[in-house]
Structure 1
Amino acid sequence: MRDIVRVQNGTSIYNSSNLGGMKKSTNKLPIIICATAGILLGSFAFKVSIAGINKTDTNDSSKSGLSDALNNKSTNYEAIDKFNDILFNSFGIDRYNPITILTANYPYFKMYYNNEYQDYLVQTQIELEKKALEEKKIQEAKEKALEANAQIKENTETAENTSSESSANTFQEVSSSITYEGDEEDEEKVTDSVVTSGKVNIINQTNYKIDVNKLLAEPLNLPNKKGPQILIYHTHTTESYLKNLEQLTMKNVESRTTDSKYNVTRVGEALINNLKKYDINVLHDTTIHDKDYNSSYGNSLKTLTKYVDKYSSLKMTIDLHRDAISGQKLRVVKTINGKNAAQIMFVIGTDSKLPNSKWKENLKLALKIQARLNELYPGLVKPVYISKNRYNQHLTNGSVIIEIGGDGNTIDECVRSTEYLARAINDVLYKSK
């Protein structure tokens, strides 16, 4: 038995010659129903869309023809027919040949029949969102580029304005080397009464009660490992000294310089050479941290952290400075063995402002070295200055600031002092055991 389903133009859409074929035909029934529903709904939708004809993607001549036909009230039905012809044709459909409707929509019917239509909708939505995201990224990139160009322009203008200033203003001039610590509150160095205990003198800027004798009696809690033992670095790397005593009475003598022959790095190098006489493994970092003076301690903290992380053997980290006061050159000397030597001062930070669990161990080391210097070279060392600031001394036991001389001392006087300081450090770290 042979069944043939035909459409208007006589085209066969299905043939079968046996009962099995009939069963297959039954399975295709949903496609035929969907096609028929699509034709009916499509025709209705096209008629409802007459008011939106100017939005359809047809050519200008078609639109003109439709407009003329629709405005002719006497031939309203003819106008509708003409409109339908044009509208259907714009979608590649012949309304007198329904198979073209089926052909145009067959991919969607097939997806629906195979339960793939929902996936198609989801994928379409994903692609739309992806495209929108890409467009958003492109727009954001354009906006960032505009902002970057504006910043470059602003920086250029600032640099041009700055370049007109004199070279004398390249560095910000300040007095004391321990006045500023990063963004902390500025605290002027004041002269308090000196507290003396045995061979040790202190100036205490904090509210803590310091038991000097107890600290001197306690052993040091320092690493005992092979490797570098001492690190010398400079938070205020450009602090300078006088070339000779004639400069002491001169005006406009700069108190900072990048010339390593006359700044604290020269004194640091001299201290290293004297420590090496005792076979002490010493490191020296000469990074300039004080181009922006108020950022000095933040900059030197990065340097110090790098060394502390790398060398767990460090017994002592010395931030080497020189002192100064506002308004005049500070000259601090003591005659040792018939020659002038610059006085030395230890500065110890506490946890009064920022956490620092190491401060008592740091103070203990400073007190022991001061006591030894007072035994060997009375008057060479000034009182230990105990500050409310932290000064990056929270990373290790044995972290100290050492100020050698002031901005009124000659470079030779400060270099000479390093010989005496090196001996006291060696005695405390190695001979006191």
Structure 2
Amino acid sequence: MVRLMEKLCRLGKNLVVLACAAVCIWCVAENFQSWAKEQGGKALLFAAGMGIQETPVPAAGMASDSPVTTAEPQKPQTVQPMELNLPDDGIVPFHSDLFPGQNATPDPDRANGPVEEIQMDGGTQIGNFYVRDSTESGTDLAAELLEQPDVDIKADGSVEVLIYHTHTSEAYSASSPGFYYTDMETRTQNQDMSVVAAGEELCKALQARGIGAVHDKTVNDGVYNGSYARSWEVIQKNLQEHPGIQVTIDLHRDSMTTESGVKYKPTAEVGGRKAAQAMLLAGCDADGSWGDFPDWRLNLRLMLRVQQKAQELYPGLMRPMNFSNSKYNMNATHGSMLIEVGTEVNTAAEARYTGQLLGEILAEALTTI
């Protein structure tokens, strides 16, 4: 009887173990079925020993061998923006593939050359500024500085200044990586990237000071030859429409490349920002060879005053004034000027800033004559 009872106990224990095992198998089967439905064909490969289960990516700050306890959805990480040295006006051109201020190396598959940032000076000192005189005319520049220019700006809102561009499509760079490509585009129809952008800032600065100005953006260099003949027509059209114009400004962009292929980037720092250096060009007809430029001294006197004022307000912004045997449509008025702003390796932001500064210089000079 005792033995019978022992056998029954052992049988009961075995039945309990079998029941527990059955429950475990049932749970595993249920989980496997759910997993197989989610994995689809991958489940068959895994079951056959040919599949690889993906290892969960550890959460930030967790060691790679830490167990994953809960499959919670990952929150999107916030990406902090890079701190870039943006152009002076804080604008990164949308079509540029180089962000200013980042270390950049040229594409080895494109021919390139170095850019050298310089501040140009030299020439003959006249007062607080310098002039490069190539005329051999013997003109006494210091004496001309003391003579009165033939302009009388009223600053009453009427149009008294014309800004135009003989070479309208002269372009600037989008960024300043320290090199240039020899196949770079130096002309553009995008007027936000051309000398027109500098002219627009110049115009706005004059208007802000109450000086009426008009900015003619006519493209005169669609065909390069004949550009000055076309810009002469632009001047005459505006003089007819606005007979009060006394000052005409032909705004250009210069270019300087050495024989060894170095491009110069004339730059000044004004108020902690980079600006493209600018240059005034004054024409001369001392021997009368031009035949239609008898009043060249009147233009010269005005430009000497402007150069002097620029050095007072923003030292270093202006390159030495260029005084040469040239005309360049400066026989149109007694207040005709030609101004070069930077070179093709200056940025458009630098050129725009210079346009603004030139407007402030001109406004001050024109209203104190």
TM-score bin, normalised by smaller chain: 0.5 to 0.7
Describe how 1:61-210 pairs up with structure 2 within 5 A: 194-210=123-139
Match of 2:339 among 402, 407, 418: 402
User: How far did 1:393 drift?
Assistant: 0.6
Match of 1:350 in 2: 284
Aligned 8 A contact 1:203 1:384 in 2: yes
- Equivalent-residue separation in structure 2 for 1:272 and 1:193 (angstroms): 29
Q: Relative contact order (alpha carbons < 8 A, sep ≥ 6): 1 or 2 greater?
A: 2
User: How far did 1:294 drift?
Assistant: 2.3
Aligned 8 A contact 1:205 1:387 in 2: yes
Larger displacement relative to structure 2 (212-221 or 228-237): 212-221
Aligned 8 A contact 1:223 1:312 in 2: no
- Equivalent-residue separation in structure 1 for 2:129 and 2:178 (angstroms): 34
1:260-319: CA deviation from partner (whole Å, max 9, x where unpaired): 110011111111111121011110111111122121111111111222233331121000
Match of 1:230 in 2: 161
Residues 263 and 211 of structure 1: CA distance in aligned 2, closer, same or farther (over 3 Å): same
1:150-196: CA deviation from partner (whole Å, max 9, x where unpaired): xxxxxxxxxxxxxxxxxxxxxxxxxxxxxxxxxxxxxxxxx997111
Residues 356 and 330 of structure 1: CA distance in aligned 2, closer, same or farther (over 3 Å): same
Answer 1 or 2: which has greater helix percent: 1
TM-score of the two chains, using structure 1 as the length reference: 0.53
Residues 224 and 254 of structure 1: CA distance in aligned 2, closer, same or farther (over 3 Å): closer
Residues 193 and 416 of structure 1: CA distance in aligned 2, closer, same or farther (over 3 Å): closer
1:73-96: CA deviation from partner (whole Å, max 9, x where unpaired): xxxxxxxxxxxxxxxxxxxxxxxx
- Paired residue type of 1:394: N
Match of 1:331 in 2: 265
User: How far did 1:211 drift?
Assistant: 1.6
What is the DSSP-based 3-state SS (H/G/I as helix, E as strand, rest coil) of the residue aligned with 1:253? coil
Match of 1:141 in 2: none
Are 1:413 and 2:338 counterparts? no
Number of equivalenced pairs: 242
1:409-433: CA deviation from partner (whole Å, max 9, x where unpaired): 0000111112221111111111x24
Match of 2:223 in 1: 292
- Paired residue type of 2:212: N
User: How far did 1:333 drift?
Assistant: 0.3
Match of 2:62 in 1: none
1:111-145: CA deviation from partner (whole Å, max 9, x where unpaired): xxxxxxxxxxxxxxxxxxxxxxxxxxxxxxxxxxx
User: How far did 1:207 drift?
Assistant: 2.1
- Equivalent-residue separation in structure 2 for 1:223 and 1:305 (angstroms): 20
Are 1:362 and 2:293 counterparts? no
User: How far did 1:401 drift?
Assistant: 0.4
Match of 1:252 among 172, 183, 192: 183
Match of 1:341 in 2: 275
What is the DSSP-based 3-state SS (H/G/I as helix, E as strand, rest coil) of the residue aligned with 2:302? helix
Larger displacement relative to structure 2 (323-332 or 410-419): 323-332
Larger displacement relative to structure 2 (345-354 or 406-415): 345-354
> Over the residues paired in the alignment, what is the CA RMSD in angstroms?
2.0
- Equivalent-residue separation in structure 1 for 2:280 and 2:139 (angstroms): 15
What is the DSSP-based 3-state SS (H/G/I as helix, E as strand, rest coil) of the residue aligned with 1:229? strand
- Paired residue type of 2:268: K
Match of 2:312 in 1: 375
Provide structure 1 residue ranges, at least 5 long, that are not aligned to the other structure: 1-190
User: How far did 1:224 drift?
Assistant: 5.3
- Matched residues, percent identical? 32
Match of 1:219 in 2: 148
Match of 2:327 among 390, 406, 411: 390
User: How far did 1:349 drift?
Assistant: 1.6
Answer 1 or 2: which has greater strand percent: 2
Describe how 1:302-341 pairs up with structure 2 within 5 A: 302-326=233-257, 327-341=261-275
User: How far did 1:331 drift?
Assistant: 0.7
1:219-270: CA deviation from partner (whole Å, max 9, x where unpaired): 2211556631110000000000001113743341111111111001111111
What is the DSSP-based 3-state SS (H/G/I as helix, E as strand, rest coil) of the residue aligned with 1:287? coil
Residues 292 and 192 of structure 1: CA distance in aligned 2, closer, same or farther (over 3 Å): farther
- Equivalent-residue separation in structure 2 for 1:304 and 1:344 (angstroms): 22
What is the DSSP-based 3-state SS (H/G/I as helix, E as strand, rest coil) of the residue aligned with 1:405? strand
Larger radius of gyration: 1
Provide structure 2 residue ranges, at least 5 long, that are not aligned to the other structure: 1-119
